Chain A
Amino acid sequence: MILPISNYSSNVKFSSEPNNEEKKLPYSKDTLLKNNLGTRARITMDKVTNAFTVYPVKGLRGSRNSNFYEFLTMGTVPYLIGSGMLMAVFMGPNGKYNPFSSAKAKALGKKMALGVLFYGVMKEIAKSFVTKPVQLLTGVDTTVPYAKFIYELPESIDDTDITSIEYHQAMESTEFPRWDLLYGDESKGETRNFRYDKIAKKLGMGDKLNDSDQEVKQRIKEIVVKTMTAKNLSSYLWGALGVCVAFQTPWEDFFNTKGFAKSTKQFGRSLWESMKEFYNGNGSGLRKHCGKLLLGIAALSSILGVTNVMSSSKKPSKLDSADIIEKDRKYVVN
């Protein structure tokens, strides 16, 4: 990459002291990260912070460096504010109601708050109901994150701070997966194809393949697409389940409990009772069984999703028809 000239001139500025405050970025090139809780938490923190601070400022100034990644990351903002707002709407101007209405509104508002929380938590957890079994069974980690080191356009002639980091997932685009990041670093003593080898072995395609990467890439792509399909559909169903559990009556005991220790204990108890109430239901017919039905549908969506991934990843590799130009078709390059 050719860097703008201003990047070098920063050292010869006429200023009272040298500019030592150059931004220290944690990565200097695109780097595959370990997919663990710590990394994921750090990435989430970074994204949420930026979504509320840096990106909106850039966007409102009309910066030419705002990009699609920032637009998508800013999606967190309406999600979080909207959740809070939803609770507020149900709770209403609580202090201004009379005590009876206020108590009623508060109970509903608190349930709503819990529902929003459970929705988010269940939606995130439920993603792993699909991705984890798939990873265990096929060796393909569909959510492995990487840090993307990017150069921006200088905003002005004095703009020297033109690098930044974005966090992506290597498999987030099924059309342009970052295959390159999955190769081993030979300078660190890793075999070039060691990740692909592992996957090939897991998929039953054999050991010590000459070009395991070439062999498994198509399969990985298929696995990723199927996993994402299942994940996208099932996680929301589990989220819905979370909301429904939050709307059960045993939570009222939790809301009425005072003190941290007691509340913690009561939370567990209320959660268990609410899950039971949700499952067992009351009344008759659909009214009684709708909890079971929703749970069944959510569970089925995850199970079917994983089964679907597995069912075809056992197939022997074959030449993909998409790779052959069909002579009778027109082709368009956009």
Chain B
Amino acid sequence: MTTNLLSNYIHNIPKQPVIQNNNNGTKHDVQIINVKKEKPHFDINRELANRTFIKPLPPKAHLVKNRIFDAPAIFVKDAVYDMKALKDGWKGEANDHQLGKLNDLGMKLGGLGIAAYLFTRRQTPTTKAMEFIGLGSFFASMVLWPKLALQLPARLIHGFNVMPEYEDSYGRKKPLYQDNLFIPWDAAYTDKDIHKIGDRLGVPKDIPNRRDYIQEKMRMIALQNNTMWMLTAGFATPIMSALICNGLEQPVTRLLDKYNSKKADRMLVEFTDIAKREKTNSINKSIDSLIELYKEKPVNEKMIESIANALGIQRDMLTVNAIKKDLKSILLPENMTYHVSKEFIPDIIKNSREVLLKKFDSSLIDQILPSEKQLLERLQSDDVIKDCSNQIGEGSHKVFRINKLINNDLYKDEVLRISRDFDSLIRENIKRYNESHPEKALDADVDVPVILKAIQGETLESGPVAKVLLSMPNNKFNSKAQSLVKYLAEVMTDFTAEGKVLNKYAFTKFGATSSLANYWNEVDSSMLKILGFSDKDLKMIKHDRKLVEPMLRQKIEDIVSSKQKYAEVLEKLCKKLSKLSETVKEQIVPEEYKKRADEVYTATAGKLKDITLEDGSKVNMSALIKELVGYDDLLDQQKNGKDIRAYSQKDLQKNFAEIRMKGVLSSFRQAINALDFYARVANLKNLDVKYLPDVKMPREVMEELIEAAKGIQLDGHMCDYETKFYVPRQVFPNDKDTSLPEVKDGKLNLNYAGKPSDLRKVDIPDDSYFFHNLMDLMYQNDMLDETKEILGKYNRLDDMKQHRTDMLTKIGDENYFAKKFHKLFTPYEDKRIAYAEDKFFTIGKSFTDLIFDAANKVYNTKQWLKMFGSIGAALLGVTVISQFFFGKTSLPKDTKKG
């Protein structure tokens, strides 16, 4: 039952007033009266006489200070308030204000939920971080927009804060102007404050009810601002949030990059400890359960496969295959025997029956399959031995060495011979069946081969009979095999953990989100500016990649037509390349990493060599060793010939980083080479190529070569180099005209190309002269002196020279040509042929691809910024200007005195 406050009080009449001091130590006129005992009667006169017995305390409401220094204190206070709201809400005691706060808390929780979920979906540290930054920036924009676009201009224009918050006497924080019909003026402003604001608002001093008029004006301005806030926030918040995210992405990436790089460095220092932490028990666990499952069972391929899969679970398939190969040769050697027992007979019949049931009636199968008794008799008879001996054996056991089948140990080829002998029983039964059912006799050419094929199976070992007979190899998964597998599990557990740490290091330092990748992103966009691509060009490029080449060609030809311009552009490019090289150098693969990788792989290979088994015998996991470190006797091999290199996972582990960096640098070096080549053409310098011995180069061929090289320099992909440049050419060039080509404005004056004779042009494959000439033109002929000078200035000359040699030796190989006589002696003939990966990274990204990707990136960003930047700016403009129209009221008219 609820009680009435007044009656409750009345029944507790105070006995003696107690005068309480307030906090300031001054006497207060509030008297709180204590009553010990309840009085039986209510004396109304006494109560009326004591009028001061209850009186409200002065209100404690006040404006909330919004200074930056108070922010941490306010944050803590708000958090405490929210927690109390949660507690009260849970207990069912929260008030409206607290429930409103819980709604805000819910919204933040939901946002965090989304960000946390998307965090787990993202691959790179930056994108992961951006999920939370996105959420944070969204909430920040919600708060910042009204502050910047409304509160600040309003304060400047009208002279007061239109969105202040006040705390009421119960400590509830609310916007002062949230309810237009109830504004607690007294809590916020003194009379003096209001009049001061009035002065700022330009309210005449002598009007009647000035304070009311000022308050009305303030109310109006605040309401109009609140409304404007509601109307604009929807547009502004997402745009602002996106702009904040755009702005923060780079710094966040850099910050994370630094942090991760330091973390990675620690990995190498504390390698052993970290590897220990990375160690999991999963391999041991699954091996244990497999041992439990297979122990003392005959070893078969399926068993080996599952064991190999378990051992190599956290590595790649190549490792698993190598383990499989080794285990097979150790646990299932060629000379293994299989035990054939009487108990197999029902299974043989059952298996054969199942296979035949797919094609024939069961009534027929019953009659043509031998009975158990019949099969047993056959297997025990001398005939079978005789028949098996007559079969041509496979492998080394040409002669049938045994005299009994049942309960004997047989080699695999002997077992297969018995399985083939099963046919003779079936043939006999078919013959009998045909005799007893002449009307349904089985056709010797159609039915019988089908039946026999089904019994024999696709391969000899997969037939239903052979499968049963081979199911009991004498090699069991015994304690010897078990201990080997357990040992391997230990080795692989350590190796997997150590490999994981090495991988983490390599990916953090040189992977897709490393500072290398980040710098690349910065540089490729700046290339556009250096080469003079305008916004119009960028707009054009987005339509098609094909449009880039002619555009780029035009730009470069323009550049090289003026020596000064060329020097300027090349200087800028070299500066970028130099910076990139420095960035790369900073993160050059440390020796420590290579040493660690060496140690880990060599130690693991050592553990896999000469494994002593229970019976004292020794085995090698040679296939796995070769997979991990190359030849298991690599050192010995290398003593004989230094060039002996074998693919190994160790090499991959060590080279991953270096190869990645090479790809990035090559792309820029190719661009510089292109510029140099165009400049050489513009100056007709260093374009030395030979036609035929003692025959002068015809002008038409030279034009062809130069034009082809110009195209390849810009648009040459790896496949172009691999197919040795399929370029349409004249089959019968005009060799009378051997004049030198002419140049104007950086372009070749073409006498032949682009003429009607072009229609007769065809691809001429396998022409190694043409290929060599092109390669020589592009990479063998020396660079221009100007180019070398600038490269030398930025210390990049040697790199560039090395790159050009790489292009000649690694990419200029002869392997593709179909005809042997094309393998001529060339300067590159004796050089080692490069691997596909090596070639790929030497060529890098083609110049046109580089420009196309960069152009799209820049164009998209610009378009986005143009669209949303202008929406944002327009919105801000309208919002700010609207302030000037707010608070327009007419002055109160003088009230006539009546």
Tell me the A residues contacting B by CB distance below 8 Å: 55-56, 59-64, 66-68, 71, 74-75, 77-86, 88-89, 92-93, 96-98, 100-101, 123, 173-175, 214-215, 217-218, 221-223, 225-226, 228-229, 232-237, 239-241, 243-244, 247, 286-287, 290-291, 294, 297-298, 308, 312, 317, 319-320, 323-325, 327-328, 330-334
Report, as a range, how many residues of chain B touch the other chain. 35 or more
Smallest CB gap from B95: residue in A: A175
A320 partner residues in chain B, CB cutoff 8 A: 2
Smallest CB gap from B220: residue in A: A62
Asked if B3 and A226 sit within 8 Å, CB to CB, the answer is: no
Q: How far is the CA of A35 from the CA of B103 in the complex (A)?
A: 22
Query: Looking at the complex, which of B693-701, B810-818, B859-867 is the stretch in contact with chain A?
Result: B859-867
Q: How far is the CA of A223 from the CA of B864 in the complex (A)?
A: 50
Min Cβ gap B88→A in Å is: 8
Q: How far is the CA of A55 from the CA of B868 in the complex (A)?
A: 28
Question: How does the 8 Å CB contact mask read for B93-104 relative to A, with 1 for contact and 0 for none?
Answer: 111100100110
A294 partner residues in chain B, CB cutoff 8 A: 113, 116-117
Residue from A64, A222, A240, A330 within 8 A of B113 (CB atoms):
A240
A-B contact pairs, 9 of them (CB 8 A): A56-B230, A59-B226, A85-B239, A89-B239, A221-B92, A225-B94, A237-B113, A240-B113, A244-B118
Asked if A78 and B117 sit within 8 Å, CB to CB, the answer is: no
Q: Which of the listed residues A77, A82, A332 has the most CB atoms from chain B within 10 Å of its own CB?
A: A82
Q: Which 10 A-B pairs have the closest CB atoms?
A: A81-B234, A59-B227, A236-B110, A229-B89, A62-B220, A240-B113, A222-B92, A98-B542, A78-B234, A68-B179
Min Cβ gap B187→A in Å is: 9
| Total contacts A-B at CB 8 Å | 225
Asked if A80 and B234 sit within 8 Å, CB to CB, the answer is: yes
Question: How does the 8 Å CB contact mask read for B411-453 relative to A, with 1 for contact and 0 for none?
Answer: 0000000000000000000000000000000000000000000
Decide yes or no whether B111 CB sits under 8 A from chain A. yes
Asked if A98 and B856 sit within 8 Å, CB to CB, the answer is: yes
Asked if B90 and A229 sit within 8 Å, CB to CB, the answer is: yes
In the complex with contacts A240-B117, A330-B57, A92-B860 CB distance below 8 A: yes
Q: How far is the CA of A333 from the CA of B86 in the complex (A)?
A: 25
B562 partner residues in chain A, CB cutoff 8 A: none
Min Cβ gap B616→A in Å is: 41
Residue from B1, B5, B234 within 8 A of A79 (CB atoms):
B234
Tell me the B residues contacting A by CB distance below 8 Å: 1-3, 5, 8-9, 12, 20, 30, 32-35, 54, 56-57, 59-61, 86, 88-90, 92-96, 99, 102-103, 105-107, 109-111, 113-114, 116-118, 120-121, 168-170, 178-182, 219-221, 223-224, 226-228, 230-231, 233-235, 237-239, 242, 542-543, 856, 859-860, 863-864, 866-868, 886-887, 889
Q: How far is the CA of A85 from the CA of B90 in the complex (A)?
A: 36
A88 partner residues in chain B, CB cutoff 8 A: 238
Min Cβ gap B881→A in Å is: 13
A67 partner residues in chain B, CB cutoff 8 A: 179-181
Smallest CB gap from A87: residue in B: B238
Asked if A74 and B227 sit within 8 Å, CB to CB, the answer is: yes
Min Cβ gap A134→B in Å is: 12
Main secondary structure on A side of the interface with B = helix
B118 partner residues in chain A, CB cutoff 8 A: 244, 247
In the complex with contacts A228-B89, A325-B9, A174-B99 CB distance below 8 A: yes
Asked if A85 and B238 sit within 8 Å, CB to CB, the answer is: yes
Q: How far is the CA of A298 from the CA of B96 in the complex (A)?
A: 24
Asked if B3 and A319 sit within 8 Å, CB to CB, the answer is: yes
Asked if B868 and A334 sit within 8 Å, CB to CB, the answer is: no
Asked if B1 and A77 sit within 8 Å, CB to CB, the answer is: no
Asked if B117 and A325 sit within 8 Å, CB to CB, the answer is: no
B227 partner residues in chain A, CB cutoff 8 A: 55-56, 59-60, 66, 74
Asked if B230 and A77 sit within 8 Å, CB to CB, the answer is: yes
Min Cβ gap B686→A in Å is: 38
A123 partner residues in chain B, CB cutoff 8 A: 110
Asked if A92 and B864 sit within 8 Å, CB to CB, the answer is: yes
In the complex with contacts A71-B180, A78-B233, A82-B238, A226-B92 CB distance below 8 A: yes
Q: Which of the listed residues A74, A89, A229, A308 has the most CB atoms from chain B within 10 Å of its own CB?
A: A229
Asked if B238 and A332 sit within 8 Å, CB to CB, the answer is: no
Asked if B114 and A334 sit within 8 Å, CB to CB, the answer is: no
Q: How far is the CA of A110 from the CA of B111 in the complex (A)?
A: 20
B182 partner residues in chain A, CB cutoff 8 A: 68
Min Cβ gap B179→A in Å is: 4
Smallest CB gap from A227: residue in B: B92
